[in-house]
Amino acid sequence: MAGGSFAPTGEVKHYAGKVTGFVVITCIVAAFGGLIFGYDIGVSGGVTSMDAFLKQFFPQVYAKQLQAHENQYCKFDSELLTMFTSSLYVAGLLASFFASSMTRLYGRLPSMLFGGVTFLIGSAVNGAAKDVTMLIVGRVLLGVGVGFANQSVPVYLSEMAPAKIRGALNMCFQLAITIGIFAANLVNYGTSKINGDYGWRISLALAAVPAIIMLAGAVFLPETPNSLIERGQVEKAKAIIQKIRGTSEVEEELQDIIDASEASKQVAHPWANILQKKYRPQLVMAIAIPMFQQFTGINIIMFYAPVLFKTLGFGDEASLMSAVISGLVNVLATFVSIGTVDKFGRRALFLEGGVQMFISQLLVGVVIGKTFGTSGTGTITKGSANFVLFLICAYVAAFAWSWGPLGWLVPSEIFPLEVRSAGQCINVAVNLLFTFVIAQVFLSMLCHLKFGLFFFFAGWVLLMTIFIFFFLPETKNVPIEEMELIWRKHWFWGKIIPQEDDRAQSKPKPAQS
């Protein structure tokens, strides 16, 4: 842990040094890692609602769309079209396992470099696509880039940042994701006005911009001291700590990193350790939170907002404009979370956000059900369409100050050091897995469940809100290394985890020589 650590007494230690320019550049690099992810999330929906794009790659979807009496719910239902969106996430999921080994064995920068290059090639392939195969190959390359960036950038960040700004940095990553989505919404809005097939090509190729900036970062930034020490380069690590902290008094921090690195080498089986009963609550949270985050249904709006608005009978331009509006709400509401999370706590945000999302989804279901019924025919009045847009914005805002940032923050702060990296890997993998699942099934769910789709997600939101109410203790202001206590004192988890005296038997398994 760079920047601060816990003394044996449990008090926070403060190292000498200040927030230097290097650390600020680190933030910018991290932001570009998040932008890459966000741009991808936001770009596909707009592109798949552009006629020129559909005509060229998905002519059947285009033809269906033109049939005025076609069932509204099913006009975009196409496996190929879905695969275009979701292939990225399955590639990212698989890549993140390789990325975690590469990040550990060769360093954080080689991972970023590899991720940036793959991403760049992916955006070129997509921008130049001549057929569906090229499109999907491009998306897979982008996915590999995202897998490597999402694994290495947050680790790079938390190792470079001084402890006192680490929490804020965590949420800035989410902020960058939302800015990336919004940027993609805006680009799509602009390029949709270009005649011919240049519009979607520009949208897809512009993904190269954040990638080039992240690549430049990977070339010019220094490796983290933690990674250098992990690979035996202590002198080099010392010089870097001096540079990033702006002081020559770095012995204490250096020694702590060396100790932490030694200690983590003792834990040879973090994957086996994490299965021990004493880590059960954290393990459950690392699986449940990212899964529930995706079952809020947020990515239906992020991926398919323009398609959804078109389904509701909005015109082309109104659909893209509505996506721009919900994208902006997403960015702005994230600030609410950044400003209140350490004051009101995680639970308050989770619970308020859950209730707001539940009500909005129920109402969207009711309005759409009343308009289109189960046959999927009919037209929406202007008033109802605007009301739906308002409800979707209320829903997006609620997500953006609750499950959005907290879905990343909470799992990252509850694991003890010896199993933290394994826990984080599970969190990222579960998140991408369910992002993929939702992207993959949404269009056909819309076709089959019709307006009931919104009730389906409302049901999940209700379930997860009850789950948080009963099972997630408050983690606000609890020092990371004292987090264990909150589970012991919890009404439910206190009964599940072994008591003090049983713990001797479940010590981390030592390394085998």
Residues lying near ligand BGC in the complex (CB under 6 A): 41, 174, 177-178, 181, 293, 298-299, 302, 330, 404, 407-408, 431, 435
**126, 207 contact by CB (below 8 A):** yes
CB of 379 to ligand BGC, least distance (A): 30
SS3 content of the chain, % helix, strand, coil (to 5): 80, 0, 20
* Listed residue (474, 452, 437, 468) closest to 354, CA to CA: 468
CB of 408 to ligand BGC, least distance (A): 6
Q: Strands of 204-277 (E only): list them.
A: none
In terms of CB distance, is 293 or 356 closer to ligand BGC?
293
In terms of CB distance, is 433 or 462 closer to ligand BGC?
433
**Torsion angle, CA of 430/434/440/441, rounded to 10 degrees?**
150
In terms of CB distance, is 372 or 395 closer to ligand BGC?
395
In terms of CB distance, is 298 or 391 closer to ligand BGC?
298
Distance of alpha carbon 461 from alpha carbon 361, whole angstroms: 9
In terms of CB distance, is 87 or 174 closer to ligand BGC?
174
CB of 98 to ligand BGC, least distance (A): 21
Give the 3-state DSSP-derived string for 279-346, with helices as H, strands as E and coil as C: HHHHHHHHHHHHHHHHHCCHHHHHHHHHHHHHHCCCCHHHHHHHHHHHHHHHHHHHHHHHHHHHHHCH
What is the residue whose two structure tokens read 């379930």?
A: 463
In terms of CB distance, is 42 or 116 closer to ligand BGC?
42
CA distances to 29, 161, 168, 299, 406 from 175, in Å = 13, 17, 10, 16, 12
In terms of CB distance, is 65 or 293 closer to ligand BGC?
293
Report the amino acid identity of residue 192: S
CB of 72 to ligand BGC, least distance (A): 25
**432, 270 contact by CB (below 8 A):** no
CB of 324 to ligand BGC, least distance (A): 14
CB of 302 to ligand BGC, least distance (A): 4
CB of 406 to ligand BGC, least distance (A): 9
DSSP 8-state assignment for residue 248: S
* Listed residue (424, 416, 408, 411) closest to 279, CA to CA: 416
